Structures are given as structure tokens and as C-alpha cells.
Structure 1
Amino acid sequence: MTAVYRCRGVCAPALPVCGLRPVSEPGRQPSPCVRRCCLNEQQRCLGCGRLLGEILEWAQASDERQRQIVAAAAARLKGSAAPD
């Protein structure tokens, strides 16, 4: 059985944009947070696919780095989709 850890609000205090409102700075990517924060044993959010480090990095990341994070998170989510 896979252990699942509930979000303890780690990203919200550090990242006030975490799913609550879009990033307002021009040229920045909106947060990929879908407000289903739940980290697995690899510290990957089961909602958006980002790793905890990427969640914490988000607010300070450049536009290019945010695009990389979004692409990596999408690939993680796609790879974790198990057939029913």
C-alpha cells in the first residue's frame, strides 16, 4: 500500500499564489495548483504533480523555470495514470 501524506499548508504560507489566485506579474505562469494538495512518499503532489521542492521554488522561479516545472509535473501525472 502506498503511503499518502496530507498537505500541512507548507506551500500556502510560502507561496500565497498557490492556487488561491493567479500570479499577477506579467509574463509569469499561473500556478498549476489545483487545490488537491496531497504529497506521496516521494514528496510529489498528487493534485498537480509538482515535487515539494518545485512547489516551494515556484514563487521565485523564472518564467522559463516555471514552464519546465509545469512540463515535468504534467509528465509525472501522465506517467502515474493507472488503467482502471
Structure 2
Amino acid sequence: MSVNKEAKPTQNNAVQVASPCIRHCCLDNNDICVGCKRTLQEIIDWQSFDNEQKNAVIRACQSRKAC
């Protein structure tokens, strides 16, 4: 998966996990993005997720891409 995982410091100097978005946004019939493989709900919730949750989403995306 070619995902930009470059960590970026935030205002409080905490390193944030980068979005897996590759700007190829289109949902399939199961509401999964054909570009990054996130579900619609994961896309909506991304900004509110902590790093642990974001890493879990990235792992799920990698699994979805492998199928």
C-alpha cells in the first residue's frame, strides 16, 4: 500500500498519523473508498480518532487492499 504515513507535529507537538487518503476518492457499493480503502464511517470519523484508532484503520485498509 503506498500510503503517505509521514508523521506531522501538531500545535501541541504530538505526532499525528497521516491520513491514508491518496486523492482517488470514490465509494464502491459497500461504501468503501476505492482509493484508500477506508469505509465511509472511517473517513467521517478520521479527524476525531486518536493515533491508536488511526493506526487500526490503516491496518484495516491494508487488509482490504490485500483482498
TM-score using structure 2 length: 0.79
Q: Which has the larger radius of gyration?
A: 1
SS in 1 for 2:16: coil
**What is the alpha-carbon root mean square deviation over aligned residues?**
1.8
Instruction: Tell me, yes or no, if the aligned pair for 1:33 and 1:48 is still in contact at 8 Å.
Output: yes
Deviation at 1:24, TM superposition (A): 4.6
Matched positions, count? 59
Aligned letter for 2:55? R
The equivalent of 2:52 in structure 1 is 64
Structure 1 runs of 4+ off > 3 angstroms? none
The equivalent of 1:38 in structure 2 is 26
% identical equivalent positions: 31
User: For 1:42 and 1:27, how far apart are their aligned partners in 2?
Assistant: 32
Gaps of 5+ in 2: 1-6
Gaps of 5+ in 1: 1-21, 80-84
Structure-2 change in CA distance of 1:76 and 1:27 (3 Å)? same
Instruction: Tell me, yes or no, if the aligned pair for 2:37 and 2:61 is still in contact at 8 Å.
Output: yes
Deviation at 1:71, TM superposition (A): 0.4
Deviation at 1:69, TM superposition (A): 0.3
